[in-house]
Amino acid sequence: MKVGIVSFAHLHAYTYADALLNMEDVELCAISDGNAARGREAAKRFRTRYYGDYHEMLQEDLDAVVVCTENSRHAEVVIAAAEAGKHVLCEKPIATTVEDAKQMIEVCERNNVILQIAFPVRFCAPIQRLKQMILDEDLGRIIAIKGTNRGQNPGGWFVDKNLSGGGAVMDHTVHVIDLMRWFMGSEVREVYAEVDTVFNDIPVDDCGILTLEFENGVFASHDPSWSRVKSYPTWGDVTLEVIGTKGVTKVDAFSQHVTLYSDLDNRVSEEFWGDSMDIELIRDFLSCIKEHRSPSITGTDGLKALEVALAAYQSAETNQPVKLTHR
């Protein structure tokens, strides 16, 4: 299978490229990046061809592309890839507006190509264990869920709203909302949020608190932030606490680590040793293509997570709960 990557603006592009290089019967054929220095360096590192214009790359004999551009450019690249007949794995969030997300979904459906959204935490072993516990009703009926995704400020284009669509609430809400939806098979009915900038001197938000009500009656809270300092042992976390009628379970997606005290760089770090969810995401995406099946994480999944993040911003601006409609 022949795969290309559009842009290394998002750091996940590097782990995806590593995953592609280490898979049998897969070839990383091309890399495109509007940033010539970054693109050429990546092409050299991953031993493949570089294209300055992704449209030129899409004319090549590729089966699929991985899109890791700035968030606001997802729509234009995904649409171009779909119209070129390429299957697409798109970095999250799917887009920065609902209109763009819907157009991406429609164009991919019309051109009969897969659109999968990069929510790799679904492939984390502890998260999958919790999913199975919920399916087996080990926790009984779910009453409430508490989630966190607290990390470091990534800087760069992430703090430019025109490119990112928002700050920490946009960046860190979609992952956890996707997990909550996936666990329960229910949509968010109402969002109330408070959003602020308190940890960093940046022009976008770096923290928020979301209170959610799902259509199945479950209440949830979510803490998305860029609150971790650079000296913190790891970039951040993804945690969930699920409260059911039969019990309570807590899960930390990155708890499979050892703590390293290094005299080489005079810092403490948490070194992850568990299975790579990025590799499993790529493997699942390629399997969907080979087996001609629907993507495990659809464009609609991306859209629903985006709607919650945007509703959180609207709620914070109006100081009122925002109701979501699902058709």
- pLDDT one digit per residue (tens) for the chain, 327 residues: 999 999 999 999 999 999 999 999 999 999 999 999 999 999 999 999 999 999 999 999 999 999 999 999 999 999 999 999 999 999 999 999 999 999 999 999 999 999 999 999 999 999 999 999 999 999 999 999 999 999 999 999 999 999 999 999 999 999 999 999 999 999 999 999 999 999 999 999 999 999 999 999 999 999 999 999 988 999 899 999 999 999 999 999 999 999 999 999 888 999 999 889 999 999 999 999 999 999 999 999 999 999 999 999 999 999 999 999 876
- Find out whether 203 and 109 touch, Cβ atoms under 8 Å: no
For residue 54, give Cα distances in angstroms to 65, 83, 84, 285: 10, 13, 11, 21
Say what the pTM is. 0.96
The SS3 assignment for 147 reads strand
The SS3 assignment for 294 reads coil
Question: 17-36: string of b/e by CB count within 10 Å (b at 16+)?
Answer: bbbbeebeebebbbbbbeee
The residue assigned the tokens 């799917």 is 94
